[in-house]
Amino acid sequence: MQEFKFLEEEHWYGGYVNDGIEQPYTSNSDCKVDLSFNDGSNQMVDFFISNKGRLLYKQNNELEFIVEFSNGTILASDSAELLANTNEQTLATAYALAKEKCFSKQDIKLAKEFFETPIYNSWIELTFNQNQKDIIRYAKDNIKYSMPAGILMIDDGWSDYYGKWKFSVEKFPKPQEMINELNSLGYKIMLWICPFITADTFEYRELAKKDFLLKDSQGEIYISNWWNGHSAVLDLLNKDAKKWLETQLEALIEDLGVAGFKFDAGDIRYYPHSNTDEIQASIEQSNAWRDLCSEYSFNELRAATNAAGMNIMERLADKDHSWDNKGIASLIPNSITASMMGHTYSSPDMIGGGEYLHFYNVDSLDEEIFVRWAQIAAFMPVMQFSAAPYRVLSENNQARINKAINLRLELKDYIMEIVETSFKEKSPIVAPIEFYYPEIKEKLYDQFCFGKDLIIAPITTANTNKREVFLPRGKWENFNTKEIIDIEQGKFVASSDDLPIYKQIK
């Protein structure tokens, strides 16, 4: 192990997105981060950046990579290298080093529809009963309640089983008519897919004959135990197996007008991982799923390794419908960490929480969580609904949801300018305050910048409409009240049932 010392007032971002709630790591931190392989449910990178212009990253292909932050010391595997910008010691210069050394060089061609309007996912409303009639109803109801059409993802259950990527005739008797109707309403359609193949099916037997299925270290077809049961896994390192899948996906695009796909379940933990050789091979399989996803302009990916700077729309892992660190409290710190890791085009999970079981009993839902979540998502790169707010909220709180959406639409030109700059320069869309204002020493992890000129300060605690806001020196406009704040730099108390937004006046 190598040993490095913290610089004065230094702190670090990186590693796992799910650990964002614990970040940035400081000289007071005491934790061990094992980045040998991503055994979690979200994104991971094998680098860290600091507010003192330093980059700590893995410089070779050795499997083991461990970083410990403890009592002002950083211990890192021998494969680690530490680089520093000696001219300007800031988080932004460290990010620039990471962009040079650790980011993909892939061009960004994501569909602009991800950023222009909210997107929708059918999972929580329909769960295991995805069907044509209710998909159309969901799409029309959104518009009925003044929520603009956008991308609509039809989630798991639209096909008969995994590996047969065709609409179920029983559930979707006329898929072409459905897609045409949804397109006419203004929706672009994405479909959920996974790398699994349901066993004991025609596709399974055909793929087994062609040797297209992943095998374990004993040479047997590997059966993965994942959240929906037991399935075989397509071997995406086999170019013919990959082509087999791509042919099905292209048919959905060309024949039916599907726009793209939600690539789910590529987690390394669902591939063989009982020994070092299997883990290494599984990392390659998971990366192949990641790479396939990045080929499409309409895509979504939840679990990935070293996808910094890639052409991927990424979602935070499923969150609880709660105020705590498993729910709404994690959204801003995890999203900030994701952004500093180069996972720029992200969604703070489905609004209200992606853990769908919370929505089975509507009476137990906290409407304020839903509203505050929507206000946060309105100024994240991607705003994603699944649970229909008009089903679970009062009329008054539905109006607050619509107000958050309309605020995003009102600032659409500014948002798209930031997005388009990010496409070209791989710059962050959301960032911690210190990224643009390094002179600020305050620990500000519950507010963030959207570009340099907007500071977003959502309310993320229960039973209050007040919070402290910190603004850098200068003139700022309260976007809701139009009040001008001329501040020397510091905190003040904001009060709002809406989303506190402050725009810099130049």
Tokens of 212: 């297209």
How many C-beta atoms lie closer than 10 Å to residue 127's C-beta? 15
122 shares a domain with 37: no
What integer pLDDT is reported at residue 373 of this predicted model?
A: 98
Residue that terminates a domain, selected from 425, 447, 462: 425
Same domain, 71 and 151: no
3 state SS of 320: coil
Same domain, yes or no, for 485 and 396?
A: no
Q: Are 426 and 103 in contact (CB under 8 A)?
A: yes
Residue 219 lies in a domain: no
Question: What is the maximum span of the chain, computed from C-alpha positions, in angstroms?
Answer: 72
**113 φ/ψ angles, rounded to the nearest 5 degrees:** -60, -25
Report how far residue 400's alpha carbon sits from residue 398's, in angstroms, rounded to the nearest whole number.
Answer: 5
Amino acid identity, position 239: K
Of 392, 409, 425, which residue constitutes the final position of a domain? 425
- The structural domain count of the chain equals 3
CA angle (95, 97, 98) in 5-degree steps: 65
Q: Which residue intervals of 359-450 are DSSP H helices?
A: 367-377, 389-392, 395-410, 412-425, 433-436
Strand partners, 55: 49, 83
CB 388 within 8 A of CB 140: no
Based on the fold, state whether residues 281 and 408 are members of the same structural domain. yes
Instruction: Check whether residue 331 and residue 182 sit in a common domain.
Output: yes
Contact indicator for 121, 191 with CB cutoff of 8 Å: no
Backbone angles phi, psi at 304, to 5 degrees: -160, 155
Q: Which of 319, 345, 392, 418 is nearest to 151 (CA)?
A: 345
Same domain, 254 and 401: yes
Q: How many residues are there in the chain?
A: 506
Residue 52: its pLDDT value, please?
A: 97
The C-alpha angle with vertex 328 and arms to 366 and 44, in degrees rounded to 5, equals: 145
Nearest to 336 by CA among 471, 448, 442: 448
Planar angle of CA 165, 167, 173, nearest 5 degrees: 165
Residues 316 and 345 in one domain: yes
Residues 380 and 299 in one domain: yes
Q: Give residue 338's pLDDT.
A: 98
Evaluate whether 360 touches 330 at the Cβ level (below 8 Å). Answer: no
Q: Which domain holds residue 468?
A: 430-505
Is 458 found in the same domain as 401? no
Query: Is residue 210 included in any domain, yes or no?
Result: no
Question: How far is the CA of 347 from the CAs of 167, 286, 360, 367, 387, in angstroms?
Answer: 27, 21, 23, 20, 15
* Average pLDDT, 10 consecutive residues per value, the chain (506 residues): 96 98 96 95 97 96 95 96 94 98 98 98 97 98 98 98 98 98 98 97 98 94 96 98 98 98 96 92 97 98 98 97 97 98 98 90 89 97 98 96 96 97 98 94 90 96 92 91 84 82 92
Based on the fold, state whether residues 134 and 186 are members of the same structural domain: yes
Q: What is the pLDDT of residue 235?
A: 98
